[in-house]
């Protein structure tokens, strides 16, 4: 389908993909602004508090269709959510994106099984919308198990590491 391009708005294929990802996400509202263009997506059946809108800057060029839903990852680096569950404590993903154990392909991993890390230490990177967000430990802990493969897509709340608090 050839659709006329409006210079104020991004590619319509990008908008369709973004809408599809938003529909599948746990977000209640997503607001995107780029110059004069403003896009607001809100689930009609969800009551959203006024303080909850999430704004992100849109890329200058619409990215190619994404394999993993990365649109829900608007916040910059966010603290790691730690959830106590049966079998131990976990470091979980604070948003949707791609999990990386290393800062670069040729660099060593941030953490290994058995390594102790201090509160605030970087344990991995989550790439979301071309932003590489360092994920930090909220508390001192020892890495008991790495639960996600390097380069794998993750959702909000995905358990990344099983840890033991120090």
Listed by start position, the domains of the chain span: 12-57, 81-165
Q: Which single residue is written with the structure tokens 């102790």? A: 116
Structure token digits, residue 22: 């938003």
pLDDT beneath 50, residues of the chain? 1, 46-86
Give the CATH class of 81-165.
mainly beta
pLDDT at 25: 74
pLDDT at residue 12, as a whole number: 67
- Main-chain dihedrals φ then ψ at residue 107, nearest 5 degrees: -100, 155
H/E stretch holding 23 reads helix 12-24
CB 148 within 8 A of CB 158: yes
């Amino acid at each position: 389908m050839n659709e006329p391009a409006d210079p104020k708005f991004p590619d319509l294929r990008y908008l369709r993909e973004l809408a599809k990802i938003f529909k599948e996400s746990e977000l209640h509202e997503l607001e995107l602004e780029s110059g004069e263009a403003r896009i607001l997506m809100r689930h009609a059946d969800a009551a959203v508090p006024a303080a909850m809108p999430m704004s992100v800057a849109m890329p200058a060029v619409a990215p190619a269709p994404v394999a993993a839903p990365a649109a829900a990852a608007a916040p910059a680096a966010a603290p790691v959510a730690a959830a106590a569950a049966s079998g131990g404590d976990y470091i979980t993903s604070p948003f949707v994106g791609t999990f990386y154990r290393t800062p670069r392909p040729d660099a060593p991993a941030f953490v290994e099984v058995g390594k102790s890390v201090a509160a605030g230490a970087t344990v991995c990177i989550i790439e979301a919308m071309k932003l590489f967000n360092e994920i930090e430990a909220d508390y001192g802990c020892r890495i008991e198990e790495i639960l996600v493969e390097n380069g794998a897509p993750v959702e909000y709340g995905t358990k990344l590491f099983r840890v033991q608090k120090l």
